[in-house]
Amino acid sequence: MFQNYIKIALRALIANKLYALINVLGLAIGLTIFLFGGMLANYEKDHDTVWQDNDLIYYVGSTMSPNATIGIKQMDTTYSALGPLIKEGVPEVEYMARTIRREYLVSTDDNNFNEPVRFADADLLRIFSFDYIEGDATALDDPEGAVLTREQAIKMFGRTDVRGEVLELNHEHQFRVQAVIENLPLDSHFRSNMILGEDFGIYMPLKALEQVAGWEANYYNTSGGNYVYLKLRAPMPLAELNNKLNTVHLANTPQEQIDNFMAGLYAKNIKQANAGIWDMIGMPVIESIQILGLLVLIIAIVNYTNLATAQSLGRTREVGIRKALGASRGQLMSQFLTESLTITAISMIIALALIEVIVPMFNDAMGKVMTVDYISLLPTLLLSTILVGLVSGAYPSYLITKTNTIYALKGTSVKGSKGSFIRSMMIGVQFMLSIFMLGMVLIMYFQNDKVKDSSLIFPKDEVLVLREMNKQAIVDRQEILRNELLNHPHISAVSFATQVPFEQSNSSTSISRNEGEEQAKFQTNRMFTDDGFIPTFDIQVLAGENFSRDNSSHYQSDLEARSASVLINELLREQLGFASNEEAIGQSYYAMPNEEGLETFRYDIIGVIETQNILGLHNQVRPFMLQWREFDHYFGSIRIAQGAPASVVSDIETIWQRVNPDYPIEHQFLSDIFDGIYNVFRTMNGVLAGFAGVALTLALIGLFGLAAYMARTRTKEIGIRKVLGANEAQLVKMMLWQFSKPVMWAILIAIPLAYLASGAYLNFFADRIEFSLQVPLIIIGGVTAVALSWSVIALHALKVARSNPVRALHYE
């Protein structure tokens, strides 16, 4: 019996090739995207499973206090200082390891490299079951030990048997290679995490950092990627673990920090470390991918249902005959469901073939190691095939088998208005989703454009940024470098700073307008730089003046004085309560002392600058202050005059070589820094555009099929109307309208949805596109969808309206 059904199903498919093709392709595309989205989400969420006992490995994150104005609600790091306290206070924790990353000049006998180094407590090697080529998990117990990955060893020594070799940091501190481990797996957060960023090949003991960098004071730093890892002795409920972490936190962290910055702690299993960044910035990217995949699948299912319903109306006679011959309704339902299951199964096979093509391409492009594991996928595949097959076939088979036998035999089923209502609704759903996505794509596109435009406030292409400037030897020769550079005829300004535009930094401090006003204090971002920053980045001074070398009070050489000259941005000026920029000049504001026994610190405003977003364009604009102060600046910025010859970069390299012969230069144009960040958003937009494109294409294909079908079944009616005097224009209008109504409804529903969703997205940006652009963009998305659907329908409508009615009327 079942075999018979499948045979009928295949025959029906062959008989209606166009519909079969549309159905199979539509479902295949929907399934591909759905499966791929699911696989990607699983891959991203289910990282770090290679480690032994990975279910016992956690990292500690923090929830931010509502008073913390750093723009995020949680972060995947916490004060490193809490690590040992947690180990002590939570007996269930077997091992704890803090990690801190820094970049150093790492030298072997023959070569110098600027390398990121991860400093970690020795137990890191007991938490993660690395794969040792040389040495073992005790490697970091040696306070001057180092662990290299295979790749790193080969990069620096050309071989892996390097145990005992010496590495020098900044030409000052010596370390011995104690172990070499296999390259870290791509599907672990060590390699894929976006905050951790660089690929770390060198591990050194955290204790050593204290000597190398005097790190002790900085255990309250919470930079991204500086994980605090825990390994439990035995599984325990997460809530209980979190409680214990918070007990430690509350007992050890000053109340003021809890109130204003780090409100609480949480533990997350190591599997979640990879996707943590999205949780942190609150963009549910992975969930969105999954949801989009599901939406596309729904569109494909609706497509199928729609076409199958339309087509089944043409088969009422077949059903009538079968019923007359004694087929029960159940048998007929089974027959039609078998048909949809067959189509789904064929689509699934095509989808899997597509997945096999896409996954390797994706892995190549994105540096991932996703695999198609059929054994673990099997339940999903079976379940989704059956579910999709049943869901998409349910309505058409219900509708057609319901038809009264007599009517069915006459071939004039009572195609009530109800059937067409459900069909309209399905078209509506498809277009709603398409319009929604299209609107989002447009908005993201224009927002990205806006970000790009906004980035023009800085002379991106004329600023060469130097990195890794915070090494003592380089800092010592900073002035020599500045003077040599400024001597070059095409270099107009040089600046050293803790930050450059577009580089995210959350360095902030707590200030108040009047001295001792504990209650009224608020957070402002702060950076240390010099008098070159303003001219280098073309920042406009709206009132007052830039720091000047002629005025010794502008430069703060020590902290003893307890006062400093500052430039503030307009936003900070407003928040401080000055009515105008001019009024603020010469005024002061204050910071509480951060240590007992110190006096209040006073800031004297010498200038007000524009409220440009130096923090990166994907952040909110924040109050901001610039201070000219001696500091181990990480960045150097060189302003190259417009129209300078290309050779200026090699001139800069030569100058560097002369001044700092022991250190390689690390430079990058500001525009490249920007592009690096911008590309993340562009990629996201591209991915969504892909989804939206597929969704809209599916919806249009479905509409095309439906219009073709409707046009065919309505030839008689069109003929009658024509005979009764309808002209072509009236007929085309009628057919367009029939399909337009659901599309209009779709617009009405999609627009507010897209408005809300895009609003959430736009809130991530400092300089977001205006409301007056946001709404029209969504409407354009809707209008585009309508225009496309009209052209698809008009194609058929015109053909039918033009055809001679005679045949349809006489030879039906």
Partner 1 sequence: MLKLHNLSKIYQTDEVETVALNNVNIEIERGEFVSIMGPSGCGKSTLLNIIGMLDSPSEGHYYFADHDVARLKEKQLSDIRKQNIGFIFQNFNLIDELSVQDNIELALLYHDIKASERKERVAAVMDKVGIAHRAKHMPSQLSGGQQQRVAVARAVVGDQALILADEPTGNLDSAHGQEVMEMLQSLNEEGTTIIMVTHSPSHADYAHRTINLFDGQVVTENVHVADLAYAN
- Give min distance, CB of 810 to partner 1, in A: 6
Residue 309, C-beta contacts closer than 8 angstroms, at least 6 positions apart: 395, 396, 399, 419, 422, 423
Long-range pairs for 10-15 at CB < 8 Å and ≥24 separation?
Answer: 10/342, 12/339, 13/339, 13/342, 13/343
Backbone φ and ψ for 415, nearest 5 degrees, come out as -75, 80
Check binding of 730 to partner 1 (CB under 8 A): yes
Check binding of 52 to partner 1 (CB under 8 A): no
In the set 487, 661, 724, 772, which binds partner 1 (CB under 8 A)?
724
Of the candidates 130, 292, 275, 141, the residue with the CA atom closest to the CA atom of residue 204 = 141
- Is the Cβ of residue 2 or residue 811 nearer to partner 1 in the bound state? 811
Check binding of 772 to partner 1 (CB under 8 A): no
- Residue 730: CB atoms within 10 Å: 13
Check binding of 326 to partner 1 (CB under 8 A): no
Of the candidates 269, 255, 287, the residue with the CA atom closest to the CA atom of residue 76 = 269
In the set 717, 736, 773, 798, which binds partner 1 (CB under 8 A)?
717
Check binding of 679 to partner 1 (CB under 8 A): no
- Is the Cβ of residue 548 or residue 715 nearer to partner 1 in the bound state? 715
Check binding of 414 to partner 1 (CB under 8 A): yes
- Give min distance, CB of 306 to partner 1, in A: 18
Check binding of 756 to partner 1 (CB under 8 A): no
| Amino acid of residue 186 | L
Give the interface size with partner 1 as a residue count (CB under 8 A): 25
In the set 7, 716, 741, 799, which binds partner 1 (CB under 8 A)?
716
Check binding of 798 to partner 1 (CB under 8 A): no
CB 244 within 8 A of CB 58: no
- Give min distance, CB of 323 to partner 1, in A: 17
Check binding of 171 to partner 1 (CB under 8 A): no
- Is the Cβ of residue 748 or residue 806 nearer to partner 1 in the bound state? 806
Give kind and range of the element (H or E) at residue 491. strand 491-497
- Give min distance, CB of 709 to partner 1, in A: 15
Check binding of 387 to partner 1 (CB under 8 A): no
- Is the Cβ of residue 387 or residue 414 nearer to partner 1 in the bound state? 414
416-475: contacts with partner 1 (CB under 8 A): 417
> Which residue stretch of 373-381, 405-413, 487-495, 690-698 sits at the interface with partner 1 (rule: CB under 8 A)?
405-413
Backbone φ and ψ for 195, nearest 5 degrees, come out as -80, -45
Q: Which residues are paired to 635 by β-bridges?
A: 497
217-256: contacts with partner 1 (CB under 8 A): none
- Give min distance, CB of 409 to partner 1, in A: 11
- Is the Cβ of residue 372 or residue 726 nearer to partner 1 in the bound state? 726
Check binding of 409 to partner 1 (CB under 8 A): no
- Is the Cβ of residue 40 or residue 319 nearer to partner 1 in the bound state? 319
> Which residue stretch of 566-574, 643-651, 723-731, 786-794 sits at the interface with partner 1 (rule: CB under 8 A)?
723-731
* Residues 145, 181: Cα–Cα separation, whole Å: 14
Check binding of 726 to partner 1 (CB under 8 A): yes
Q: Which residue bears the tokens 């579910």?
A: 387
In the set 723, 744, 780, 795, which binds partner 1 (CB under 8 A)?
723
Check binding of 725 to partner 1 (CB under 8 A): yes
Q: Which residue bears the tokens 């005829």?
A: 489
Check binding of 320 to partner 1 (CB under 8 A): no
Q: Which residue bears the tokens 């198609």?
A: 372
Secondary structure (H, E, C), 125-182: HHHCCCCEEECCCCHHHCCCEEEEEHHHHHHHHCCCCCCCCEEEECCCEEEEEEEEEC
In the set 720, 749, 757, 779, which binds partner 1 (CB under 8 A)?
720
- Is the Cβ of residue 550 or residue 812 nearer to partner 1 in the bound state? 812
Backbone φ and ψ for 447, nearest 5 degrees, come out as -65, -40
| Amino acid of residue 4 | N
Check binding of 741 to partner 1 (CB under 8 A): no
- Is the Cβ of residue 231 or residue 722 nearer to partner 1 in the bound state? 722
Check binding of 504 to partner 1 (CB under 8 A): no
* Residues 778, 438: Cα–Cα separation, whole Å: 8
* Residues 193, 275: Cα–Cα separation, whole Å: 7
Q: Cα dist. 117→204, 597, 635 in Å? A: 7, 37, 18
- Give min distance, CB of 393 to partner 1, in A: 25
Check binding of 415 to partner 1 (CB under 8 A): yes
Check binding of 712 to partner 1 (CB under 8 A): no
Diameter of the chain measured on Cα atoms:
105
Secondary structure (H, E, C), 596-658: CCCCCEEEEEEEEECCCCCCCCCCCCCCEEEEEECCCCCEEEEEECCCCCCCHHHHHHHHHHH
Residue ranges binding partner 1 (CB under 8 A):
407, 410, 412, 414-415, 417, 716-717, 719-728, 730, 804-806, 809-810, 812
